[in-house]
Structure 1
Amino acid sequence: MSTEKMMEGKVAIVTGAGRGIGRDMALLMAAEGAAVVVNDLGVSVDGGESGETPAAEVVREIESRGGRAVASYDSVSDWVAAGRIVQCAMDSFGRIDAVVNNAGILRDRFFFNMSVDEWRAVIDVHLNGSFYVSRAAAPHFKTQSSGAYVHMTSTSGLIGNYGQANYGAAKLGIASLSKQIAMDMKRYNVRSNCISPFAWSRMIGSIPTETPQQQARVEKLKKMEAGKIAPMAVFLASDAAHEVSGQIFAVRANEIFLMSQPRPLRGIHRGEGWTPQTIAEHALPALKSNFYPLETSGEVFSWDPV
């Protein structure tokens, strides 16, 4: 097994890196040789002020281990502020090699009760934030003809969950954003991939547990360590993943899954075209056996993690 540090000489930005999954990714990036911009607003799960400085604490931890890091307190959900996050890397370390879009909030509520503010807040942080930070880094990646994006998607978007219309829409949007970035930036030797993490975090701890199904889902997630996600992030950000782009990986405890992406399942043709009546009479019976059930993420991943 190689002992070479996979991020030696690299500079990485990790957003939402003050706690949880982001913190573990920042620490491992640094342990693998990267200089790290530890970005975190220091806010609560719902986006409110917490008055803490977790980013600074992570920086101190990295430096105490002989690594290099700098704290950033700008918001990913603001275009100008996101630009400052990237500029922080350039000012502090002179370049940027990897962006990990991890910052996130939850405002779970059933769709029929969800407010416009709850919708916008989650979309702004997850989807807009991933675009803003990625877009700010793009000119630097183009100039140096290298770079890697790692985005965090979720089975809440890829599969579905109750009470997460805002979060699921944002996370499925991120999967598509990653694919488009991979296609547009391929000519500049820039890669873009997604991780769909299963891990206990402050965000997961805020999920409502009003039903036995919700309680079982959260209890299962409590057993999954946030640190298990970091190795995949480091790999995707490193040169070892130079052939990997446009993919979605789910990481659940010691399991790694390559997730499917939408492709045609079955098609039917009618020479004279279709009417609403013939769709009901002929198309529906032919296609129905391939319909996807309304399953939640927990129902699809129904076995215990190993």
Structure 2
Amino acid sequence: MTAELCAGRVVAITGAGRGIGREHALAFAAAGARVVVNDLGVVGQSQMFDAPAALNEPGTPEEVVERIRQAGGEAVAHTGDVATWSGAASLVRTALDAFGGLDVLVNNAGILRDRMLVSMTEAEWDAVVRVHLKGHFAPLRHAAAYWRQQAKSGRPVAARVVNTTSGAGLLGSVGQGNYAVAKAGVAALTLVAAAELGRYGVTVNAIAPAARTRMTEQAMPELVARPERGFDTYHPGNVSPLVVWLGSTESAGVTGRIFEVEGGRVSLADGWRHGPAVDVGRRWRPSELGPVIGALLGKAAPPEPVYGQ
């Protein structure tokens, strides 16, 4: 990764005090970007995730900013709640006030409240949907308004949005109904935003990462280091090179796509498509549909298994 890849670009990253978000911030700074580091976390305790103390490693946006500055980069901290309208708006304002613009938005902030559906509470559902889904939409909405204004004023726009979905959102995950639904919503939001914002010079893509973080150490304990691969396969930093590339001007023309990334592997997720069909040319009678549906299922590829099934 060369410093020229994102030289001078202004990048706002949500949930960047720890884990994957922190790695994104450091990687963008190393590639020459000026970074707005958003997070609600405080030292020794995360306001975004209920986890044992051992998993809540110290990490605040200010600490990430200091690391970037010590390495010769430029960064500022933002501690607003991006799942609120005002917090998302202030994220964009922070980028404009500190660096005079915004080129890249990386939506990364998230939480878990894992529970089987029969045991899940309303609060657990609402919290996860709020942070993941509204926490993606609200920053995107405010950033998009800025980019539209720039485009209508005749200024060139080469903006990028990188959202964060997951395998749970693409395939489902047992015990994570709230999280899976929210991440599926992020995938759909990515497709809609890519279609709507392309006219303003904005591309929108999403990643579905597999990495060891505070969110996955309990939910996915199998994400451990694999020395036989020659490197830590599930280190969160492995995800960031793809995000940096997607945030660069080199990724122009790549939009509305979802990439799965794990260790040194990058793949393109192949989502819902129109499959086999039968058209009878009139309203169906329920008694007719048994063999018709059987034939359609016989022609279609079997679905991928739900995680944890």
| TM-score of the pair, normalised by structure 2 | 0.88
Structure 2: tracts of 5 or more residues without a match: 226-232
Pairing 1:171–2:183 present = yes
Counterpart contact for 1:200–1:225, Cα < 8 Å? yes
One-letter amino acid matched to 2:173: N
Q: 2:114 aligns with which of 94, 103, 108?
A: 108
| Contact residue 136 and residue 163 of structure 2 kept, 8 A | yes
1:46 corresponds to: 49
**Aligned residue for 2:230?**
none
The equivalent of 1:210 in structure 2 is none
Aligned length: 288
Letter in 2 for 1:16: G
Q: Name the structure 1 match of 2:104.
A: 98
Within 5 Å, which residues of 2 pair with 1:4-23?
A: 5-23=4-22
Deviation (angstroms), 1:78: 0.8
Matched, 1:235 2:245: yes
Query: Do structure 1's residue 218 and structure 2's residue 221 form an aligned pair?
Result: yes
Instruction: Answer with 43-52 or 22-31: which moved more.
Output: 43-52
Q: Match for residue 259 of structure 1?
A: 269
Distance in 2, Cα, partners of 1:78 & 1:150? 19
| CA distance in 1 between partners of 2:104 and 2:50 (Å) | 25
Deviation digits for residues 18-41 of structure 1 (CA, Å, limit 9, x no counterpart): 111000000010010111000000
Residues 173-216 of structure 1: CA deviation (Å, up to 9, x unaligned): 10111111111111111000000001000000232xxxxxxxxx
2:191 & 2:304 partners in 1: Cα distance?
Answer: 25
Write the deviation string for residues 212-251 of structure 1: whole angstroms up to 9, x where unpaired: xxxxx52245551100100011000100001100000000
Alignment-mate amino acid for residue 116 of structure 1? E
1:292 positional shift: 3.8
| Structure 1 range deviating more: 80-89 or 58-67 | 80-89
How much has 1:275 moved relative to structure 2? 1.4
Q: Alpha-carbon deviation of 1:269?
A: 1.8
Listed one character per residue, the Cα deviations across residues 139-195 of structure 1 (whole Å, up to 9, x for unaligned) are 221214331100000010101111111111111110111111111111111000000
Q: Is the 8 A contact 1:45 1:202 kept in 2?
A: no
Question: Is 1:296 matched up with 2:306?
Answer: yes
CA distance in 2, matches of 1:137, 1:23: 21
Between the aligned partners of 2:27 and 2:6, the Cα distance in structure 1 is: 10
Per the alignment, in what secondary structure is the counterpart of residue 221 of structure 2? helix
Q: State the one-letter code of the partner of 2:89.
A: G
Alignment of structure 1 residues 1-306 onto 2, 5 Å: 3=2, 5-42=4-41, 43-44=46-47, 46=49, 54-142=60-148, 143=150, 144=155, 145-207=157-219, 217-220=220-223, 223-280=233-290, 282-289=291-298, 290=300, 292-293=302-303, 295-297=305-307
| Preserved contact between residue 45 and residue 206 of structure 1 (Cα < 8 Å) | no
Q: Which amino acid aligns with 1:201?
A: T
Q: Is the 8 A contact 1:45 1:203 kept in 2?
A: no
Q: 1:33 to 1:298 in 2, by over 3 A?
A: farther
1:47 Cα deviation from its structure 2 partner: 5.7
Cα distance change, pair 25–184 in 1 and its aligned pair in 2 (3 A): same
SS at structure 1 position matched to 2:215: helix
Q: CA deviation at 1:82?
A: 1.0
User: What runs of 5+ residues in structure 1 fail to find an aligned partner?
Assistant: 208-216, 300-306
Deviation for aligned residue 1:53: 5.5
Change (3 A) 1:47 1:94: farther
* DSSP 3-state at the match of 1:193: strand
CA distance in 2, matches of 1:294, 1:115: 28
Provide closer, same or farther for how the CA distance between residues 242 and 294 of structure 1 changes in structure 2, counting only shifts above 3 A.
closer
Would you tell me which structure has more helix in proportion to its own residues?
Answer: 1
Tell me the secondary structure at the aligned position of residue 219 of structure 1.
coil
Identity of aligned residues (%): 39
| SS at 1:70 equivalent | strand
Equivalent in the alignment of 1:213:
none
- Counterpart of 1:62, as a letter, is I
Q: Distance in 1 between matches of 2:197 and 2:301?
A: 34
Q: Deviations over 1:103-141 (max 9, x none)?
A: 000000011111111011011111101000011111221
What letter is aligned with 2:183?
K
CA RMSD of aligned residues (A): 2.1
